[in-house]
DNA sequence: TCGTAGTCATAACCAGAAGTTACCAGCACG
DNA sequence: CGTGCTGGTAACTTCTGGTTATGACTACGA
């Protein structure tokens, strides 16, 4: 009969590339693991792995099996989590994924609050770009995401926390620096600096620029907002900063001017996302209160 | 460690109502099953069943666990099916659900074709109303549905087979009986007979009648089209029949007249539906060809 | 080119878990 | 108040999943 353990073994093999490493990861010996895999293959009457020289290959049929095995394991994981949180919610591990353009501006305020409110919760933060986060969510590697809801999120359940308006960031001596407000159309013909590929913020800012007729500077793409801001301050061009990022010390450069947009204000929506099938949806909704409260204090501070 | 077998046991208990019956269904003895359930409850640290006098009750927490257990089992089932069909497709059991207003007009033509084309396929037909079918599909009790796609189908994958136009069925001596075509508005003020509650066809016909201002006869609701047709023929009122049902002998009553609608023709769409996650989506799409071919011959015959 | 260090498979053995039979306790019902 | 259902407990058996020890094969470096 098919067993959960067998499925854990084969996914471990795919994850680690060799039987040996998988066996270690599963805390069993290699022959034991081999036997189980063999048994599963016999049962399904198909070969999952091609035992090759120096490396294990996944057969086409095995590919399908592995994908489904992971779904089974997620469902099992969810069941166990459901059991835990039905008796004592806000307990155990919670793997949170956050995008880089949000993490540094929200987490410092939120994490302590979470620790205080739910000491039994073991929060584990992973930072990555939206597509990786979404994939990890679907694979069950992450439980909860904190990101911009405008990006494609598959069929995750989402909950908006707050809106994060974009502001125009530009050198103090720029012609627009004195303005009380700017319109998107004011950007026409300007040189803008953007983040490197992968950041959803880049895509959002880029679409604003395209609409407005601004031109991205060709030879530079910042790897983070922290590197982007000094570039703008030093006169290399202007950029769009989410309001969330404008209250942090790095943005308080004396050579940097910040001008809000007039309506309609370009913005992004920061929120939480989780698997629709997650047993902890209720907990996440409750956590959301903490998140938006903390984010508000961050934004008001300064 | 949680095991698939344990999950099978607890779902069997819910399905059969007692430990004893569940044990029989699982082909194990009751103590063996009891021990496993106990073990699972210890592991999850919650009570799934309330062992009561004469009957087993499911606790609230147990409710949640059982739902998730079923999801796991569906995922496992899908995995095994994926294995089977990746090596030899169109093999093994295929549980097909069909609505009553379609089954008698499509299955007689389709089933023999299917048997001939895929002799290794063990087709098992279940007849029920749409909501039951959809629920069974989601629970993994059925694999494939044949029904009208207008009804709410959850998030199943669907594939339209053909359109099934409604026709006006009425007594030979009715004032509209001689018409070449009728408009929906011609129904205004007429007495119509409909199927009993639960049939999606009833809902569809009813909405046409409401639009047209026709009135349902209060004291009679037919349990099937076969009982409905003679009622109309005997002058009790008129009704809407799907074209699919008008070619069968029962509808060829000499006291019954059939008049097609002019455009826009009211109609339903007959199609297949299956779980999006089903490993056999490809097989189902291929089966669809057989179904629509067979349905066409049915409709052209006569 | 020949060890060496990896790979996975095989074989023999062991321990524990899952299943069995046999029995007991409680409750419903005629 | 027995009879016939429940499900639980206990002792025994079976088997399966695990172990260690070993072997065959490949890649790679001395």
List per-block mean pLDDT (blocks of 10 residues) for chain A, which spans 302 residues.
92 88 89 90 87 72 90 94 86 89 88 90 91 86 91 88 90 79 84 88 89 81 83 84 79 78 90 87 88 67 38
| Residues A209, A70 share a domain | no
Task: Enumerate the β-bridge partners of residue A191.
Answer: A215
Whether omega before A264 lies within 30 degrees of 0, making that bond cis, reads yes
Q: Do A73 and A201 fall into the same domain?
A: no
Residue A301's pLDDT is 40
Q: Could A5 and B1 be called an inter-chain contact, meaning their C-beta atoms sit closer than 8 Å?
A: yes
Based on the fold, state whether residues B195 and B290 are members of the same structural domain: no
Strand partners, B147: B271
Q: What is the dihedral of CA A271, A272, A276, A280, to 10 degrees?
A: -150
Nearest to B118 by CA among B157, B88, B82, B96: B88
According to DSSP, the β-strands at B56-58 and A267-274 are unpaired
The answer to whether the C-beta of B108 is closer than 7 A to strand C is no
Judge if the beta carbon of B42 is closer than 7 A to nucleic acid strand C.
Answer: no
Residue A119: count of CB within 10 angstroms of its CB: 10
> Strand D-proximal residues, CB under 7 Å?
A 1, 3, 5, 27-29, 31-33, 35-36, 39, 53-54; B 18-21, 30-31, 34-35, 37-38, 51, 54, 56
- Structural domain including B170 reads 163-267
Contact B267, B81 (CB under 8 A): no
The reply to whether the CB atom of residue B32 sits less than 7 A from any atom in nucleic acid chain C is: yes
What B85-89 contacts at long range (C-beta under 8 Å, 24+ apart), as own/partner pairs, is B85/B279, B85/B280, B85/B283, B86/A46, B86/A61, B86/A64, B86/A65, B86/B279, B87/A45, B87/A46, B87/A61, B88/B120, B89/B280, B89/B282, B89/B283
CB B280: neighbour CB atoms within 10 A?
22
Tens of pLDDT, residues A182-213: 888 888 878 888 888 889 999 998 888 888 88
Number of structural domains (chain A) is 3
Instruction: Let me know whether B151 and B277 are in one domain.
Output: yes
Query: Are B155 and B168 within one domain?
Result: no
Q: Mind telling me how many Å the CA of B146 is from chain A's nearest CA?
A: 26
CB pairs under 8 A between A and B: 82
Q: Which of B17, B12, B11 is nearest to B55 (CA)?
A: B17
Instruction: Clarify whether residues B261 and B274 are in a common domain.
Output: no
Q: Answer yes or no: do B154 and B181 share one domain.
A: no
Residues of B in contact with A80 (CB under 8 A): 2, 44
Assess A48–B contact: CB distance below 8 Å, yes or no: no
Under-70 pLDDT residues of chain B: 52-55, 249-252, 294-302
What local confidence, expressed as pLDDT, does residue B130 receive?
Answer: 92
Nearest-CA neighbor of A98 among A62, A67, A132? A132
Smallest CA–CA distance from A61 into chain B, residue: B86
Testing the interface with A: which of B39, B58, B76 to mutate, by most A Cβ within 10 A?
A: B76
Buried b / exposed e over A247-272, threshold 16 CB at 10 Å, is: ebebbebeebbbbebeeeebbbebbb
User: How far in angstroms lies nucleotide D26's C1' from the CA of residue A14?
Assistant: 21
Task: Tell which of B65, B75, B80, B283 to mutate to test the A interface (max A CBs under 10 Å).
Answer: B75
pLDDT digits over B80-93, tens only? 999 988 877 888 88
Domain termination site, one of B84, B109, B128:
B84
B44: helix, strand or coil:
helix
Same domain for A136 and A153? yes
Closest nt by CA–C1' to B49: D7
For residues B57 and A168, give the distance between their C-alpha atoms in angstroms, rounded to a whole number.
Answer: 62
Same domain, A172 and A252: yes
CB B270 within 8 A of CB B147: yes
Nearest chain B alpha carbon to A277? B68
Q: Measuring from the CA of residue A30 to each C1', which nucleotide is nearest?
A: C8
- Of B84, B102, B117, the residue that ends a domain is B84
Give SS3 for B162.
strand
Does A217 reach chain B within 8 Å, measured CB to CB? no
Among A65, A75, A76, the residue with its CB nearest the CB of B82 is A65
Burial class of residue A216 in the structure, from the number of CB atoms within 10 Å of its CB (0-12 exposed, 13-18 middle, 19+ buried)? middle
**What SS3 string covers B119-154?**
CCEEEEEEECCHHHHHHHHHHCCCCEEEEECCCCCC
Say if strands A215-222 and A191-195 run parallel, antiparallel, or are unpaired.
Answer: parallel
- Which residues on chain A are in Cβ contact (under 8 Å) with B6? none
A19 touches strand C (CB under 7 A): yes
Half-sphere exposure of A95 (CA within 13 A, CB side): 16
**Of the candidates B197, B238, B204, which has an alpha carbon nearest to the alpha carbon of residue B221?**
B197
- Residue ending a domain, choose from A62, A84, A106: A84
The predicted-structure confidence for A147-184, as pLDDT tens digits, reads as follows 999 999 888 889 999 999 999 988 888 777 778 888 88
Q: So what's the pLDDT on residue A250?
A: 59
Contact A78/B68, CB-based, under 8 Å? yes
φ, ψ at A18 (rounded to 5°): -135, 155
Among B68, B273, B156, which residue's Cα sits nearest to residue A72?
A: B68
Using omega within 30 degrees of 0 as the cis cutoff, is the peptide bond preceding A269 cis? Answer: no
CATH of residue A273's domain is 3.40.190.10
DSSP letters, A17-33, are SSHHHHHHHTTS-HHHH
Using the 8-state DSSP alphabet, how is residue A186 labeled?
A: G
CB proximity A91 to B under 8 Å: no
Q: Is strand C in 7 Å reach of the CB of A20?
A: yes
Residues B153 and B274 in one domain: yes
Residue B149 and residue B270 in contact, taking contact as beta carbons nearer than 8 Å: yes
End-to-end CA distance of chain B: 62
pLDDT of residue A298: 56
Predicted pLDDT at B226: 80
> Whose CA is closest to B168, among B191, B199, B142?
B191
Assess whether A27 and A155 both reside in one domain: no
Cα separation, B250 vs B226, in Å, equals 7
Identify whether residues B127 and B178 lie together within a single domain. no
Domain holding A64: CATH number?
1.10.10.10
What is the reported pLDDT for A295?
67
Q: Confirm if B271 and B217 have CB atoms less than 8 A apart.
A: no
Q: Which of A70, A75, A80 to mutate to test the interface with B (most CBs of B within 10 A)?
A: A75
Encode A229-275 in three state secondary structure: HHHHHCCCCEEEEEHHHHCCHHHCCCCEEEEEECCCCCEEEEEEEEC
């Amino acid at each position: 009969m098919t067993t959960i353990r067998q499925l854990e073994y084969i996914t471990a093999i795919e994850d680690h590339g060799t039987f040996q490493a998988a066996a270690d990861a599963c805390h069993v010996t290699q022959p034991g693991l081999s036997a189980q895999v063999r048994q599963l293959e016999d049962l399904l009457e198909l070969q999952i792995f091609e035992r090759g020289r120096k490396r294990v290959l996944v057969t086409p049929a095995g590919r399908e099996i592995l994908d489904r095995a992971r779904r089974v394991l997620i469902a099992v994981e969810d069941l166990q989590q459901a059991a835990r949180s039905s008796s004592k919610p806000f307990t155990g591990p919670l793997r949170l994924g956050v995008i880089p353009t949000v993490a540094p501006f929200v987490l410092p305020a939120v994490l302590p609050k979470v620790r205080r409110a739910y000491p039994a919760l073991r929060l584990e933060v992973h930072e990555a770009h939206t597509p990786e986060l979404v994939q990890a969510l679907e694979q069950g590697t992450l439980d909860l995401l904190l990101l911009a809801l405008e990006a494609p999120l598959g069929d995750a359940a989402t909950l908006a926390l707050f809106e994060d308006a974009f502001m125009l960031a530009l050198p103090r001596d720029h012609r627009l620096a004195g303005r009380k407000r700017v319109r998107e159309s004011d950007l026409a013909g300007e040189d803008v600096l953007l983040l490197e590929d992968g950041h959803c913020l880049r895509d959002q800012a880029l679409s604003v620029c395209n609409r407005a007729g601004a031109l991205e500077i060709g030879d530079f793409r910042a790897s983070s907002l922290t590197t982007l801001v000094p570039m703008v301050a030093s006169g290399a061009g202007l950029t769009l900063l989410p309001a969330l990022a404008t209250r942090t010390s790095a943005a308080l450069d004396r050579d940097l001017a910040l001008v809000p947009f007039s309506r309609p204000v370009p913005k992004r929506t920061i929120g939480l996302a989780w698997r629709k099938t997650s047993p902890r949806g209720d907990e996440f909704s409750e956590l959301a209160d903490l998140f938006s409260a903390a984010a508000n204090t961050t934004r008001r501070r300064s």
